Structure 1
Amino acid sequence: MQKRTKDNPWKLKTPPQSSTYEMYIDEKEGKEIIVCTVGKTILHYDARIINDLYEMLKSHGDWMLLGSKDEKAEAKDGTVEFWGRSSDNPIGGWYGLKKGLRGRVGMYIPPLMEALGLAEVEHNKRNNRIRAK
């Protein structure tokens, strides 16, 4: 995986192509994390999500709805967002690391997967999906 730093982040757009944001890889408390900067908001995700999501999508074998939701909102079963917080995923819970900002896996991680060449992502106004390449 090509690692990006704070000085050379990935410059990405949300799946509907309506907002821009940046991501890079960093380390916090000995753990590799993805730092996601959306305007002035900074989110952190466990970097294991890249490989874990790719493997899940490969075994799923078809398109999957993104289903992006904030941490406090209920995620729809069968979506990337639901998987990103499920006790059944490889880490047994949230990939988001900042309390109160742990959601939105379905919004911010899929464009990174696409940039890394691991997935295809739809770019409709809503109800976008992802599948492994």
Structure 2
Amino acid sequence: MEKRTKDNPWKLKTPPQSSEYEMYIDEKDGREIIVCTVGKTILHYDARIIEDMHQMLKEHGDWVLLGSKDEKAEAKEGTVEFWGRSPENPIGGWYGLKKNFRGRVGMYLPPLLEELGLAEVEHNKRNNRMRAK
């Protein structure tokens, strides 16, 4: 995987193609993280989510609904968002690392996996899905 930096981030669009944002790999507290900048909002995700999500999609073998939600909103079971905060995922909980900004895994991570050639992502106005490539 090509590692992008703050000076050379991935420039991505949300699945409905309605908003632009940037992501890059950094390190914080000895851990590799993904920094996601959406306007003035900065989110952090554990970088292990890239490989772990790809593995989950391969094991699922079919389309998975994204189901993007904020941290405080309940995620629908069986969605990418639910998996990204589930005690059953490989890290046993939230991939999001910043308190009150730990959600939106189903919004911001699928386009990154698509950019990396690991997944296919739908680009409808709503109810988008993804699957492993």
- TM-score, structure 1 normalization: 1.00
Task: Report how far residue 109 of structure 1 moved.
Answer: 0.1
Residue 68 of structure 1: aligned partner: 68
Alignment-derived partner of residue 6 in structure 2: 6
The two structures, once aligned, show a CA RMSD in angstroms of 0.2
d(CA) in 2 for partners of 1:47, 1:2: 13
Partner of residue 104, structure 1: 104
Instruction: Give the counterpart letter for 2:98 in structure 1.
Output: K
Q: Which residue in the other structure is 2:44 paired with? A: 44
CA distance in 2, matches of 1:41, 1:19: 13
Gaps of 5+ in 1: none
Aligned position for 2:29 = 29
For 1:2, the aligned partner's letter is: E
Moved >6 Å (runs of 4+): none
Q: CA deviation at 1:90?
A: 0.1
Question: Partner residue of 1:92?
Answer: 92
How many residue pairs match? The answer is: 133
In 2, the alpha carbon distance for the partners of 1:61 and 1:8 equals: 33
Unaligned runs of 5+ in 2: none
AA partner of residue 70 (structure 1): D
Give the aligned residue type for 1:95: Y
1:11 CA drift (Å) = 0.1
| 1:126 partnered with 2:131 | no
Looking at structure 2, the residues matched to 20 and 60 of structure 1 have their Cα atoms a distance apart, in angstroms, of: 28
CA distance in 2, matches of 1:83, 1:97: 15
C-alpha separation in 2, matches of 1:15 and 1:40: 20
TM-score normalised to the size of structure 2?
1.00
Identity %: 86
Amino acid in structure 1 at the alignment position of 2:67 = G
Structure-2 residue corresponding to 1:113: 113
Q: CA deviation at 1:15?
A: 0.0
